[in-house]
Chains A and B, each alone.
Chain A
Amino acid sequence: MQLKNIFKFNGGVHPDENKIASTRLPIAKLAIPKKLVLPLRQHVGHVAKIKVKPGDQVLKGQIIAEADGNISASIHAPTSGKILKISEEILPHPSGLPDFCITIEPDFKDTWIEKKPISWKKIDKAQLIEALSQSGIVGLGGAVFPTHMKLKINQNQSIHTLVINAAECEPFITCDDMLMRERADEIIQGSLIAQSILGAEKCVVGIEDNKIEAYEALKKAAQKTAVEIKVVPTLYPSGDAKRLIYLLMGIEVPKEKRSVDLGIQVFNVATVGAIYRYLELGEPSISRIVTITGAVKTPQNYEVLFGTPLSDLIKAAGGSSNKTKKFIMGGPMMGFDLPSIHVPVTKAMNCVIESSPELFPAPKPVMPCIRCARCADACPVNLQPQELYWFSKSSQLEKAREYNLFDCIECGCCTYVCPSNIPLVQFYRYAKSEIIAQDKSKEAANTARERNEFRLARIEREKKERAERHAQKALGAQDKQAEDEKKSTIAAAMERVKQNQQENIKN
């Protein structure tokens, strides 16, 4: 393993890795649960459209909710069974609010629908992307953005490099690590497919130097291919896409631009693995690898069907050995406390950590900011976290936006180094969602104004039209009167003529 040509970004931190515990055992398959709860919103974009009704029989891999529009993803039945109900259930989301889910009662026969592998080399790109939009594949690194949209490249864009994100920098999480160790071939094959769809010249895998076994496995799988495996130093947050691009290529993605604008596309290892499985084997996105670790008895990685109750996974890992029963979804840096253990496993769930007072001691008392600027030194995006903190705390939202609040990746490095234990990221999250809500209500107000103005204009127009009609009618009436008069004059004249004639005849 060599660290060559690496461009180090500013800041970053070195939290305890805590990765070894969950890599001792191979990936295990979690048994089919008694029921599967599949949220319709598991991805970024539009909610999927329901295609089934309660009582329907479905087969494994059958689409039960279809992608609605371009930025959306389909949802497939993870096993065969009966649709039990469509109802609101609690989701693994920091809000703890319920949303619509499809519940399946498995028949435990696990019968596949007819698998249709796609000969991706033969069909054209538009068809291929159309096919992938049915795959249900979303970014499995946690961003859950529909993958087919990332493969769809505008005509005026061209991609020169495909970056495969294998950094997995956050502590505790090992799902990508284990996937690479056990299924390196699938990842390399998937990378090559993605590279060919994008038409990229180069394909680089970026992996942190703490994953030696995964590196060896990838290296072996990539032996006869042009895929380059590049090692980056273990430093949080090297797994952030823009940080990884900088580490590997020294290219900084400017504000308000995406890496695609610079000709670089990034995929997570698990995502390219899923692309391979869909195209070569005809298997849609119905499961993922989840790390269950922390205070559980046997930390391990499981291949879990989407919709499996989290409580089943916890039970499989030896259950909770302490009384706190607090679980974190994601890693300790960016994750959040789960509202309940009775939530389903979703496409975004990469890791679940059982919290315990030993692992995560209660936060120390918060003290005032002493303006030491350690957070600025740690910030990998080169922001001024202390300024953002003051603006967010005092709700000066416009000011926070001016100081590039929306470039913050919420990695938590600032919170990690803060000597006053200030929960900085929480303030940024608050400010961000407040700004987004304000923008939305402003947009709604603009629509309301437009509609109101249109209505007033319409009423005005109708009034005018009515007045015109009245005027026309009045005019018409006048004409008629005039005509009547004319007619009666003519009639009278004719009468006179007749009388004259009669008189003449008499004479």
Chain B
Amino acid sequence: MITALLVMIFLAILLGLVLGYSAIKFKVDGDPMVARIDAILPQTQCGQCGYPGCKPYATAIAKGEADINQCPPGGDAGAKALAELMGMEFKPVNEEHGIQKPKSVALIDELTCIGCTLCIQACPVDAILGAAKQMHTIIASECTGCELCLPPCPVDCITMEPVLENSESWKWKYPIYNIQKAQKA
């Protein structure tokens, strides 16, 4: 009896040590689910979901606080990918959070710009270049189209321009052909 007890105690201590060690050694920083959700989100950082950015929204989804259909830039395709990841039923994007529209980038009317730097402070990805009382301009390739620079502009000189297809970004379309009525033999 004593032997059995000793063996069990020894095993318990050993396994406890192993588990304790691996808990420290293989510790995962942060919630891996958040990173996976964040990878699906479009990183527009627009805040239309009600959170101050994509990462906070991802955290909220992971905690179960937010729904998966609050991201208009990600669109229905994004919601579908999130549903798949979370094992949830797909829901189309909730229009309360905004309507889905084609990707646009901001454009500053450089003649009207007064150089107030308010838009620079609003831009979540530092895509606006300029200084106080100097003309500002948007780095189009870095702009996510979040529209956060529109409201602070005191002279309304920023407009959203949809990104047009050019010969580099052009895509082959889904083939469409007519279905014909079967002929009677």
Chain A bound to chain B: yes
Chain A residues proximal to chain B, CB less than 8 Å: 41, 91, 93-95, 97-99, 363, 365-366, 423, 426-427, 429-430, 432-434, 436-437, 441, 444-449, 451-456
Q: Taking A423-B177, A426-B172 as contacts, is the C-beta distance between A95 and B167 under 8 angstroms?
A: yes
Check A448–B175 contact: CB distance below 8 A. Answer: no
Within 8 Å CB of B180, what residues of A? 365
Check A99–B167 contact: CB distance below 8 A. Answer: yes
- Measured CB to CB, the nearest residue on chain A to B168 is A41
Check B45–A448 contact: CB distance below 8 A. Answer: yes
Q: How far is the CB of B84 from chain A (nearest CB, A)?
A: 11
Report B137-185 residues with CB < 8 Å from chain A CB: 142, 144, 165-175, 177-180
Partner of A93, one of B55, B167, B179: B167
Judged by a CB distance under 8 angstroms, whether B42 is at the interface is yes
- Measured CB to CB, the nearest residue on chain A to B144 is A448
**Docked pose: A478 CA to B167 CA in angstroms:** 67
Main secondary structure of the interface of A (DSSP, over half): helix
Most buried by A among B127, B169, B172: B172
Check B44–A430 contact: CB distance below 8 A. Answer: no
Q: How far is the CB of B97 from chain A (nearest CB, A)?
A: 19
Within 8 Å CB of B126, what residues of A? 451, 454-455
Judged by a CB distance under 8 angstroms, whether B125 is at the interface is yes
**Docked pose: A453 CA to B35 CA in angstroms:** 13
**Docked pose: A267 CA to B169 CA in angstroms:** 28
Check A451–B171 contact: CB distance below 8 A. Answer: no
Check B172–A430 contact: CB distance below 8 A. Answer: yes
Q: Taking A445-B43, A448-B144 as contacts, is the C-beta distance between A97 and B167 under 8 angstroms?
A: yes
Check B167–A447 contact: CB distance below 8 A. Answer: no
Range of interface residues on B (Cβ < 8 Å): 20 to 34
Judged by a CB distance under 8 angstroms, whether B124 is at the interface is yes
Partner of B166, one of A97, A427, A432, A441: A97
- Contact indicator per residue, chain B 106-128, by CB within 8 Å of chain A (1) or not (0): 00000000000000000011110
Q: How far is the CB of A417 from chain B (nearest CB, A)?
A: 18
Check A432–B172 contact: CB distance below 8 A. Answer: yes
Q: How far is the CB of B79 from chain A (nearest CB, A)?
A: 16
Q: Taking A448-B144, A455-B126 as contacts, is the C-beta distance between A366 and B171 under 8 angstroms?
A: no
**Docked pose: A365 CA to B178 CA in angstroms:** 8
Partner of B124, one of A98, A423, A434, A455: A455
Number of A-B contacts (CB under 8 A): 77
Check B171–A452 contact: CB distance below 8 A. Answer: no
**Docked pose: A451 CA to B141 CA in angstroms:** 12
Judged by a CB distance under 8 angstroms, whether B92 is at the interface is no
**Docked pose: A426 CA to B174 CA in angstroms:** 8
Within 8 Å CB of A426, what residues of B? 172, 175
Within 8 Å CB of A447, what residues of B? 142
Q: Taking A446-B43, A452-B124 as contacts, is the C-beta distance between A95 and B170 under 8 angstroms?
A: yes
Most buried by A among B38, B168, B171, B175: B175
**Docked pose: A343 CA to B55 CA in angstroms:** 48
Check B165–A95 contact: CB distance below 8 A. Answer: yes
Q: Taking A448-B43, A452-B43, A452-B125 as contacts, is the C-beta distance between A430 and B142 under 8 angstroms?
A: no
- Measured CB to CB, the nearest residue on chain B to A442 is B39
Check B172–A448 contact: CB distance below 8 A. Answer: no
Q: Pick 17 A–B contacts, CB within 8 A, sort by A.
A: A97-B165, A97-B170, A98-B167, A99-B166, A365-B180, A423-B177, A426-B175, A433-B172, A445-B41, A448-B125, A449-B43, A452-B43, A452-B54, A452-B124, A454-B126, A455-B125, A455-B126
Check A430–B174 contact: CB distance below 8 A. Answer: yes
Within 8 Å CB of B171, what residues of A? 430, 433-434, 436-437
Check A437–B169 contact: CB distance below 8 A. Answer: yes
Within 8 Å CB of B178, what residues of A? 365
Most buried by B among A366, A437, A448, A455: A448
Within 8 Å CB of B167, what residues of A? 41, 91, 93, 95, 97-99
**Docked pose: A437 CA to B127 CA in angstroms:** 22
Partner of A451, one of B38, B42, B125, B179: B125
Check A366–B179 contact: CB distance below 8 A. Answer: yes
**Docked pose: A93 CA to B165 CA in angstroms:** 13
Check B142–A451 contact: CB distance below 8 A. Answer: yes
Partner of B45, one of A366, A433, A452, A454: A452
Besides A449-B38, A451-B127, A455-B125, 5 other CB < 8 A contacts? A98-B167, A430-B173, A437-B169, A452-B53, A456-B53
Within 8 Å CB of A451, what residues of B? 125-127, 142
Within 8 Å CB of B172, what residues of A? 94, 426, 429-430, 432-433
Check A445–B42 contact: CB distance below 8 A. Answer: yes
**Docked pose: A95 CA to B170 CA in angstroms:** 7
Within 8 Å CB of B43, what residues of A? 444-446, 448-449, 452
Q: Taking A41-B167, A447-B142, A448-B144 as contacts, is the C-beta distance between A427 and B45 under 8 angstroms?
A: no
Within 8 Å CB of A446, what residues of B? 43
Within 8 Å CB of A448, what residues of B? 43-45, 125, 142, 144
- Measured CB to CB, the nearest residue on chain B to A364 is B180
Within 8 Å CB of A432, what residues of B? 172
**Docked pose: A437 CA to B171 CA in angstroms:** 8
- Measured CB to CB, the nearest residue on chain B to A447 is B142
**Docked pose: A449 CA to B53 CA in angstroms:** 10
**Docked pose: A94 CA to B165 CA in angstroms:** 13
Q: How far is the CB of A396 from chain B (nearest CB, A)?
A: 12
Within 8 Å CB of A433, what residues of B? 170-172
- Measured CB to CB, the nearest residue on chain B to A91 is B167
Q: How far is the CB of A414 from chain B (nearest CB, A)?
A: 14
**Docked pose: A426 CA to B178 CA in angstroms:** 15
Within 8 Å CB of A97, what residues of B? 165-167, 170
Within 8 Å CB of A452, what residues of B? 43, 45, 53-55, 124-125
